[in-house]
Amino acid sequence: MIKKVLIIENSSTLAMRVKLLLELQNCEVTLVNEVDLQDDELENYFDLVVLEYSISFVLVEQVKQAFPFSAFIILAPSPDAMSSSKPLLAVQMVLSNSSTIYAFFSNKDILAQLDTVLELSVNGDNLPLPKILLVDDNAERLDELKNILTGANLQVTVMTSLQQVKDKIVHHGTVDILVSDFHMDSCTGIDVFREIKHHFKDCQCILLTSRQHHNVLIDVIRLGVSEVLEKPVYEHILLQSIHKLWQTELLIHSNQELVVRLQETLDVLVERDILLRVLYNSTADGVMVVDEGGEVLETNHACDLLFGYDKEEFKQVRFNQILNKKSNERLDALLKADSKEQKFSVEVEGISKSGLTVPVSISFSKINYHGRKVYAGILRNISQFVNQRDQLEQQKVLLEAKVNQRTKALEDAKNVAEQANSSKSEFLANMSHELRTPMHSILSFARFGVDMLNSGKIKTEKLTKYYSRIITSGNQLLKLLNNLLDLSKLDAGKFPFIPMKGSIADSVNQVMGEVSGLASEKGIDIRFKSQSRHTLVWCDVELMQQIIRNLLGNALRFSPEQGVILITLCDSQVNTKKGVADAVQLMVIDEGVGVPESELEQIFNQFAQSSKTNKGAGGTGLGLAICKDLVGLHQGKIFATNNPKGGATFTVKIPVANPDATD
């Protein structure tokens, strides 16, 4: 079973040694710094908890309560490196049953300590037992030996001759130890061992003999027989021999695995060491190690260049000598404010060897360095950053003044735009209301005049033509008023929108029936083709008919006589507020004059018409704007493209499902 270990440290090299040694023993190790320890890690189970002696006393109490059934080990530096023994003694008092590992311990000593606590060695109760092949041509002795071995819970296979071994060994499982009589009628134990070695090269052999001749023993040793026992064989002697051979075999395998793991670990450590050295010497940032007394212990090449010293000169310089007075005071105040802080950053002004001031940002970490508490710092030249920051401060004042000016201008523009928008909406509402009332009167009088003409009391030819024009103009003006009212409602957000499951194909067929008379007058062939697998779509059926009516009406207006208008339905996709959704795509394709490329988006604006169609073709420029807003209510998309052979295609995409529905 894999042992689980938690190590809580303060950047200690001893903790890293313990971690590597535990991993070599196939333990699952979690290494965490005291400041990075999370509450959820205290909720897991660990067989062993390793604590560095310098962690906070409060955390020691927490760990003891969190792991009442775990073993504990305390990591301590060399006794002569501890400034005071009180922290270690305090931790040992709390964890009274804990063990202690010191920094001067060798890896062998540490492994022995870990083995004592975790029982990392192979437990005798869990040892795998060897598989025994027993060969003897004496049936009585064979049964006696088999009873001895099976009584010790060993798995035993018995055979009586070399020929039986040859016939069955191919299909036999693993043989760990061969126990064979040396002198048999048809063969010798050496013959049997040679045959077994062909199949199981790691098999060990015990020969049983009543005549131990010197020459025979030499041949046996050369062949690789492990043990020769003299008959009669006593039970305890046979079992001791088997146990000794099997323990040796297990130890060999264990050592081989350990050598492989050690080599793999050594390779990893060498690679990491090379990588760290490359990073250390090639990084653009300076690296410096300083002890608590201010002595500079280590610098990299970038740090030497930053201050203009070489490595030998740095050994004669103390840390406070490369900072100006103000920076030293700031650093001292920072350390006194919280002497237990493990990591902190500060901006200081360094002094190079030539006396130049160098702005530097330093990130310090407090670590354990060969049993000493030291500070490892990453130093970065921030001269460019400081200059840029000063310039930014100057620009900030100028920008604030400009922002205030632009803000006032934007507020003024916003007020003007809101006022214009309000005026436009008010104008549309008033105009619609004022024009709708007289239009009803015009239509009523026109119908009255037609009725009188039909009665025969007045000349019919002239008045019929006159009144018919009044009706036509009135209907066109009423359509304009309805469009204006629709736009006003859409702008105000009060347009009735009642979506439900409906068929777009049915809506197309209904609108085609409405315009069939006009199409016949112009000789235009309207064709409809549906390839969509969606029969029903979440939409407002009346609004969909209005969209189709506007698009098909435009196509009829601008198509030449004897032309063809093609309407298609197919499956597509469209972007909604919640992402991409399945959609039904409606396309109205005509053979008219088309739309200039620069106006393909403009034609959907209110009161806008294409420059190719705004003369002589009629229309108000409101139909496509209304279509765009109605499609927007469905969270769909509408756009226009020109056909390669002339004419235009108007495409509408409507989501199949309710785009506002929750999943």
Question: What is the CATH classification number for the domain harbouring 513?
Answer: 3.30.565.10
CATH number, domain with residue 9: 3.40.50.2300
> Is 262 domain-assigned?
no
Query: Which DSSP string corresponds to 137-155?
Result: S-HHHHHHHHHHHHTTT-E
Please enumerate in sequence order all residues whose Cβ is within 8 A of that of 501, keeping only pairs 6 or more positions apart, or say none. Answer: 536, 537, 538
Where b means 16+ CB within 10 Å and e means fewer, 303-332 reads bbebbebeeeebeebebeebbeeebbebbe
Domain count across the chain: 5
Q: What are phi and psi of 67, to 5 degrees?
A: -125, 70
Across the strands, what pairs with 546? none
Same domain, 14 and 100: yes
Whether residues 650 and 526 share a domain: the answer is yes
**Residue type at 513 in one-letter notation:** G
Tokens of 3: 């042992």
Residue 88 included in any domain: yes
Residues of the chain under the 50 pLDDT cut: 122-126, 423, 430, 433, 616-619
- Please check whether residues 462 and 393 belong to one and the same domain: yes
Query: Does residue 662 sit within a domain?
Result: no
Q: Are residues 540 and 569 in the same domain?
A: yes
- What are φ and ψ of residue 632, in 5° steps? -60, -35
Q: Residue 48: its pLDDT value, please?
A: 93
Pair (539, 633) in one structural domain: yes
Judgement on whether residues 396 and 348 belong to the same structural domain of the protein: no
Range list of H helices, 352-503: 383-455, 460-492
In the three-class reduction of DSSP (H, G, I as helix; E, B as strand; rest coil), residue 661 is classed as coil
Is residue 642 domain-resident? Answer: yes
596 & 533 share domain: yes
* DSSP percent split of the chain into helix, strand, coil, nearest 5: 50, 25, 25
Q: Do 476 and 516 fall into the same domain?
A: no
Which residues form the domain of 530? Answer: 497-655
pTM above 0.85, yes or no: no
Does a structural domain hold residue 504?
Answer: yes
- Residue 218 and residue 157 in one domain: yes
Q: Is residue 663 part of a domain?
A: no
> For residue 103, is it within any domain?
yes
Residues 511, 648 within the same domain: yes
Domain termination site, one of 476, 491, 506: 491
Report pLDDT for 121: 52
- Distance of alpha carbon 500 from alpha carbon 573, whole angstroms: 19
Out of 491, 517, 534, a domain closes at 491
The residue assigned the tokens 């194909």 is 505
Evaluate whether residue 461 is within a structural domain: yes
At 124 the pLDDT is 39
Q: Rounded to an integer, what distance in angstroms lies between the CA atom of residue 410 and that of residue 565?
A: 48
Domain boundary residue, one of 443, 461, 491: 491
Same domain, yes or no, for 131 and 115?
no
Question: Are 504 and 601 within one domain?
Answer: yes
Is residue 285 within 8 Å of 379, Cβ to Cβ?
yes
